[in-house]
Structure 1
Amino acid sequence: MKGLIVDEQGCVRLVNDIPFPEPGDYEALVKVECCMICNGTDMEIIQKKLEETTRYPLVLGHEGVGVVVKTGKKVRNIKVGDRVLRVSLPDSEKYYSGWGSFAEYAIVKDGKAMIEDHVDVQEGYGALSQQVVDKDITPEQASLMITLKETCSALRRIQLKETDQILIVGDGPVGLSFLNNLNYMGIKNVDLIGNRKMSLEVAHNLGVRDTFWNKDEEDKARMLTKKYDVYIDTVGNKSTITQGTRVLCEDGILAIYGLRTGDELSVPIKGIRNITIKMLQWPIPIEEEKTHNYIQEGIRCGKLKTKELITHRFSLDNYESGFLAIQNKKALKVNILFS
């Protein structure tokens, strides 16, 4: 079957020789409808910088959505015709799995049934975020739900207060999804700093209080005069983390979501006595699962805005244009359509 793979040289290619998956007893076969390009993780995989994916060639993608066409004999919480998100492929004899949503067909597991039956319980917990989507949620909205659920569950782990003063660092899809969720939660004291004028305009459409353009020294200096209770770093490199220590209130929270910290975290501690550092660099499936209905309702009632974040759509055959749009900073979220 067709799909996108990353080869040993880090090149993305469309191939037509991916082995067709056969669902096991606790699995369902899914016909993929669409998959978003993840500006963070997918690019890390292509650049061979993600430690969870070290074997190539691999099938790319983890923001895929599709319709169930077949179920294993012990599946009881998923049925044929259900739309499901976070579809994936296992390793095959030809390709490893970079989660593998960029393929014509993929697999989801019935994690709840696995846990109830005490079969591969740990794997069952890992599959809890592979969930059925309500009929009124479109495939595109369902795909975006993955980022919205990840960021929502991260915000819940921070345990915010409505009165918190918050700064989001980064104006990519993740930073804007944090902002989208905070506005939905009713937390209004949220500022954002970023590099792209286009994204800062989107931030205003999503309800930001104030924005700072990182490329304007006066704007950045204005940001550094403020104090925040929570600093959400979606970039996660040494300079952005250090910046956080300068603008946090006493007993503030430095929440690091970005993946660019490498193997070591360096935080200057001179003059710092009372801050909390929270590492939020990977979703916890059971926590992500808990946000599912909440995120669906936010989309349904229009409080979670999806149109502002999805800026480009391409067919699978035209995938190169999608990756180019991200590399050239022309796009926020790019949706690759299979049908």
Structure 2
Amino acid sequence: MRALQYRIIGSAPEVVDIPTPTPAAGQVLVKVTAAGVCHSDEFLMSLPDDQYTYGLPLTLGHEGAGTVEALGEGVTGLQIGESVLVYGPWGCGRCYPCSKGEENYCERAANLEIKPPGLGAPGAMADYLIVDDARHLVPLGDLDPVASVPLTDAGLTPYHAIKKSLPKLVPGSVAVVIGAGGLGHVAIQILRAIAPCTVIAVDTSEDKRALARKVGAHHAVASDESAEEQILELTGGRKVDVVFDFVSIDPTTGLASRLIGVGGEIVLVGVGPGAVKVGFFSTPWEASARAPYWGSRSELIEVIELARAGKIKVEVEAFGLDQGPKAYERLAAGTIPGRAVIVP
């Protein structure tokens, strides 16, 4: 089968031929119909040799959709040909977080060397994918896999981040979304669907600000030195309730820190190296900051239901597997307005 692999530190990924895997007991073989391209892939491929821990060669793709091709011994509850999405943050299935479906926070994954597909285990940018357990497959039904595959990360990650902030997003509240790209433009739609707040998007790109307005942001401002002034003008001088930072570099975390009000919350979703200083003399009273990771299995089901109801829609651009390296070039250049999807 063909696969898009990261093979040499510092080099671009390559399309190669590798053996088609066979599912062992408890595993499922999925014929891939779509795989999402993510900034997390770009991040890991930018790591120097002494910081890279994901193994080589690595088949990329932690967002996966496909049809059930074959079942390993003992697997039940799935039908051959069934359309599914792959829940990516695999855990042990036995610890307390896993018992709640929060495998993204599995307590034993590191010790057991359990790694997500595309982030240590072979990923979805291939003709076929081995899924370690049937519980990591969620029925997709009649939804388009190409349009839906980003829901497994670009939908799930912002949904998880937003859901925990809902108590603060009451009528009259203001949420700022920094970065209106692959995850940010979905976050805007989720906020409009489940929270009665005013949504202000911030981005350096006029195209992405236009996308933010298109998908429901009440306002979209340029991410420059005047961003803070523009936002406070929109709020009548009032600081904001929640900032969702999908970039998380020093300029954006600095903006978030200056914007947040009493009792507010800064949510660092992006994988950038930025940080927020929290303390008695550093943040307003009762303000807090957190850094969530991915989301739970139950939350993925909720995201799919939002998509099925037409509440959220990911802007996608499709690429063939052979065009995979080009898709990552476009991602690095910032010329993909929503989410790139590889279609084997």
Shorter-chain TM range is: 0.7 to 0.9
Separation of aligned partners in 2, 1:268 and 1:298: 34
- Residues 198 and 79 of structure 1, relative CA distance in 2, 3 Å threshold: same
The residue that corresponds to 1:181 in the other structure is 190
Q: Is the 8 A contact 2:3 2:18 kept in 1?
A: yes
> Aligned-pair distance for 1:58?
1.3
Partner of 1:230, secondary structure, is: strand
- Residues 23 and 181 of structure 1, relative CA distance in 2, 3 Å threshold: same
The residue that corresponds to 1:102 in the other structure is 125
Select 2:149's aligned residue among 143, 151, 161. 143
The residue that corresponds to 2:343 in the other structure is 337
Q: Within the alignment, does 1:67 sit opposite 2:67 as a pair?
A: yes
> Aligned-pair distance for 1:28?
0.8
TM-score (norm 1): 0.82
Q: Within the alignment, does 1:153 sit opposite 2:160 as a pair?
A: yes
RMSD between superposed Cα atoms in Å: 2.7
Q: Which has the higher contact order (CA 8 A, sep 6+)?
A: 2
Separation of aligned partners in 1, 2:253 and 2:52: 23
- Residues 213 and 328 of structure 1, relative CA distance in 2, 3 Å threshold: same
- Residues 105 and 41 of structure 1, relative CA distance in 2, 3 Å threshold: same
- Residues 221 and 36 of structure 1, relative CA distance in 2, 3 Å threshold: same
- Residue identity over aligned pairs, in percent, reads 22
Select 1:320's aligned residue among 322, 325, 331. 325
> Aligned-pair distance for 1:211?
0.9
Select 2:139's aligned residue among 129, 132, 135. 132
> Aligned-pair distance for 1:52?
7.8
Select 1:294's aligned residue among 274, 298, 302. 302
The residue that corresponds to 2:290 in the other structure is 278
Separation of aligned partners in 2, 1:34 and 1:23: 20
Separation of aligned partners in 2, 1:166 and 1:52: 35
TM-score (norm 2): 0.80
> Aligned-pair distance for 1:235?
1.1
The residue that corresponds to 2:229 in the other structure is 221
- Residues 5 and 226 of structure 1, relative CA distance in 2, 3 Å threshold: farther
Q: Is the 8 A contact 1:100 1:106 kept in 2?
A: yes
The residue that corresponds to 2:257 in the other structure is 245
Select 1:230's aligned residue among 217, 234, 242. 242
Q: Is the 8 A contact 2:186 2:313 kept in 1?
A: no
Q: Deviations over 1:93-127 (max 9, x none)?
A: xx994551111110223354xxxxxxxxxxxxxx4
The residue that corresponds to 1:82 in the other structure is 82
Partner of 1:131, secondary structure, is: strand
Q: Is the 8 A contact 1:192 1:210 kept in 2?
A: yes
Q: Is the 8 A contact 2:4 2:14 kept in 1?
A: yes
Q: Deviations over 1:227-277 (max 9, x none)?
A: 111111111122322221211110111111111127xx4516445243111
Separation of aligned partners in 2, 1:177 and 1:241: 20
Partner of 1:67, secondary structure, is: strand
Q: Is the 8 A contact 2:60 2:119 kept in 1?
A: no
Q: Deviations over 1:188-211 (max 9, x none)?
A: 411111111111111111111111
Q: Within the alignment, does 1:17 sit opposite 2:17 as a pair?
A: yes
Separation of aligned partners in 2, 1:37 and 1:337: 11
Q: Within the alignment, does 1:257 sit opposite 2:269 as a pair?
A: yes
- How many residues align? The count is 307
Q: Structure 2: 5+ residue runs without aligned partners?
A: 91-112
Select 1:190's aligned residue among 191, 194, 199. 199
Q: Is the 8 A contact 1:87 1:106 kept in 2?
A: no
